[in-house]
Amino acid sequence: MNRRTLLRGMLGGTAVAVGLPLLEQMLDANGTALANGGALPVRFGLFFWGNGVVPDHWIPQGTGTGWVASEGLAPVEHLRSVLTIVTGTSMRLPNIHPHSSGAAGILSGAPVLADNPGSFSAPTIDQIIAAEVGDATLFRSLQTAATDINGLSWNGPNSRNPAESDPYALYERLFGPTFVEPGSGGVVDPRLGLRRSVLDGVMGDIAALQGRLGSADRTRLDQHLTGVRELETRLARLQEDPPDLEACVAPEAPLASFPDIDGRPQLQARNRAIAKLLAMAFACDQTRVFGHYFTEPINDVLFTDATAGHHDLTHNEPGDQPEVQAITLQVMEAYAAFVEEFQAIPEGGATLLDSCAILGCTEHSLGRTHSVDDLPLLIAGSACNAIVNGVHHRAAGQDNASKVMLTLVRAAGVLAPTFGVDEAETSDGLSEIEV
């Protein structure tokens, strides 16, 4: 059966291990490798928050395994054995547009568009990985947010993958009527076939239209075509027998709404609900990549107990910024919630988290000055023993943050030669955190 095999091939000019849907019987007794000796599929997640931190409050004491949690890291300390903390790296591109340059420079290694600073100019790390591993699963990637924002996942110029911020809509998408229980066989419904032939027709329409357009519009329609093709492939997969994965169980539906309380959004509840759904989406091998945006750059979210919006506080709260520090604690609690949900699902002899790397990052270090030096970065999970967990690595000399991204891209199974452009380009990962 060819789905048991792993193909090696060339996709988009980059050599890549193409993962195929994971079957429980493919795992060896320890769940650490495939029974035939192949590697477990690696999963990647991004947890992003906006507006940076107060570095003095966040950076831990000491390096290596003996790091001592700062006050800001207290909410994640109980996870230290599965965490990697990286400080001392820098986004090396010109920091022209506060917040935007940092976000684009870190996540894509490239600047924002010169003529539209609202758009990144190059794919973000989640899409670099998804482009190579995403074909194996129902969804190339999932994009979610805990506030009503579009997120920061870009395919390229002016091409964003918008985030879903409604947990119930996410649930419907993943586990609603189209969800196929493992072991139930495929769906037999003539409507699926009809929908597929409609999509085939639409693809033909798009291709025909492209011939009448200029090159920029052809590229835009290529993106559209990719989306239609993915949807068509997904409908075809629904007609097949889904992977019979032990840990895959349709979760309970989240609340239909999370109304504000005292003018404050229910960030933690919404975040936890999304984390549960994404963890199960991984366990069911519906996707292997997610991007989650707890908040966005420049957000002025009113956090619980805060007396002003987050962005306002980062600039205008005096002194050591105790309110900003308190918000950072809420952010770290939300990151911990994500890690816990992925840890809670057993897979083989380990947990789902062990096959993941969940990057936590933000666009600035000190929000007050829009600094892009000494960036706060966290990684949870070892990506199947590719990343050293349990340590704090403090890079010297404001090393290139792209190195961390390249390490993660490679850990996810993409044999990328480089990450980033210009001053942000690197062909080396951050070897100190690589196994």
Least Å from the CB of residue 208 to another protein: 9
Query: 29, 262, 397, 431: which one contacts another protein (CB under 8 A)?
Result: 262
- Interaction with another protein in 54-83: which residues (CB under 8 A)? none
- Interaction with another protein in 381-420: which residues (CB under 8 A)? none
Query: Between 131 and 406, whose beta carbon lies closer to another protein?
Result: 131
- In angstroms, the CA 23 to CA 174 distance is 19
What is the residue whose two structure tokens read 């805990």? 146
On whether the CB atoms of residues 424 and 105 are closer than 8 A, the answer is yes
Query: 51, 84, 87, 95: which one contacts another protein (CB under 8 A)?
Result: 95
Q: Please list the alpha-helical segments (H only) found in 161-287.
A: 167-175, 190-210, 215-238, 267-283
Least Å from the CB of residue 328 to another protein: 18
Query: 38, 98, 186, 251: which one contacts another protein (CB under 8 A)?
Result: 98
Residues, the chain: 435
Q: DSSP string spanning 306-318?
A: -SS-HHHHHHH--
269 contributes a contact to another protein by CB under 8 A: no
- Interaction with another protein in 182-221: which residues (CB under 8 A)? 190-191, 193-195, 197-199, 201-202, 205-206, 209, 212-217, 220-221
- For another protein, what does the binding mask look like between residues 354 and 373, x meaning CB under 8 A? --------------xxxxx-
Query: Between 121 and 385, whose beta carbon lies closer to another protein?
Result: 121
CA end-to-end span of the chain, whole Å?
A: 33
Taking each helix axis from N to C terminus, what angle separates 215-238 and 190-210, rounded to the nearest 10 degrees? 170
The DSSP call for residue 86 is: E
Least Å from the CB of residue 234 to another protein: 8
- In angstroms, the CA 131 to CA 154 distance is 12
Query: Between 31 and 151, whose beta carbon lies closer to another protein?
Result: 151
Least Å from the CB of residue 128 to another protein: 16
Q: DSSP string spanning 347-398?
A: ETTEEGGGGEEEEEE-S-SBGGGT--SSEEEEEES-TTTTB--SEEEEEEEE
Least Å from the CB of residue 340 to another protein: 27
How many binding residues for another protein (CB under 8 A)?
71
Long-range contacts of 165-170 (CB under 8 A, 24+ apart): 165/270, 167/254, 167/255, 167/258, 167/270, 167/273, 167/274, 167/277, 168/253, 168/254, 168/255, 168/256, 168/257, 170/142, 170/144, 170/254, 170/274, 170/277
- In angstroms, the CA 245 to CA 279 distance is 13
Query: Between 2 and 191, whose beta carbon lies closer to another protein?
Result: 191
Query: Between 317 and 347, whose beta carbon lies closer to another protein?
Result: 317
Query: 28, 312, 425, 434: which one contacts another protein (CB under 8 A)?
Result: 312
On whether the CB atoms of residues 89 and 403 are closer than 8 A, the answer is yes
- Interaction with another protein in 141-170: which residues (CB under 8 A)? 143, 148, 150, 155, 158-162, 164, 166, 169
- Interaction with another protein in 26-55: which residues (CB under 8 A)? none
Looking at 80-88, 255-263, 411-419, 423-431, which segment touches another protein (CB under 8 A)? 255-263
Query: Between 128 and 199, whose beta carbon lies closer to another protein?
Result: 199
Beta partners for 180?
A: none
Least Å from the CB of residue 230 to another protein: 5
